[in-house]
């Protein structure tokens, strides 16, 4: 099945037939290479890496204090999770 894929560099639309192993498609305008059709494995691993990184960074983002208020010598810190809990109290 032929696909219409825009070049990631210049945006020109190309009609690219399914590529076999070892074949590569090249943009006729700027010469950049298109990702092979069987490149889903690379895309999946990048997506998985981004999801794992987001999961690791999520916890410090909601647990670390982002707001500090000092009033009459009393200092109070609040995090996103703490603020959310305070809303429902
Ligand atoms: Zn191009």
| Number of helical (H) and strand (E) elements in the chain, helices listed first | 2, 4
**Separation of CA 31 and ligand 1 centre (Å):** 6
What is the C-alpha to C-alpha distance for residues 89 and 85, in angstroms, rounded to an integer? 7
pLDDT in tens, 25-76: 899 999 999 866 545 567 788 899 999 999 999 999 999 999 999 999 999 9
Closest CA to 6 of 39, 38, 28: 28
Whole-structure pTM over 0.85, yes or no?
Answer: no
Residues in the chain: 89
What is the C-alpha to C-alpha distance for residues 52 and 61, in angstroms, rounded to an integer? 14
**Separation of CA 24 and ligand 1 centre (Å):** 14
- Contact assessment for residue 32 and residue 10, using Cβ atoms and an 8 Å cutoff: yes
Ligand 1 ion: nearby residues, β-carbon < 5 Å: 7, 9-10, 27, 29-30
The whole-number pLDDT of residue 74 equals 95
């Amino acid at each position: 099945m032929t696909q219409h894929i825009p070049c990631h560099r210049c945006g020109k639309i190309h009609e690219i037939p399914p590529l076999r192993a070892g074949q590569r498609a090249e943009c006729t305008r700027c010469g950049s290479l298109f990702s092979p059709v069987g490149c889903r494995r690379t895309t999946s691993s990048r997506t998985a890496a981004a999801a794992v990184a987001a999961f690791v960074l999520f916890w410090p983002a909601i647990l670390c204090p982002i707001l500090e208020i000092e009033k009459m010598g009393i200092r109070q810190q609040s995090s996103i999770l703490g603020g959310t809990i305070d809303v429902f109290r």
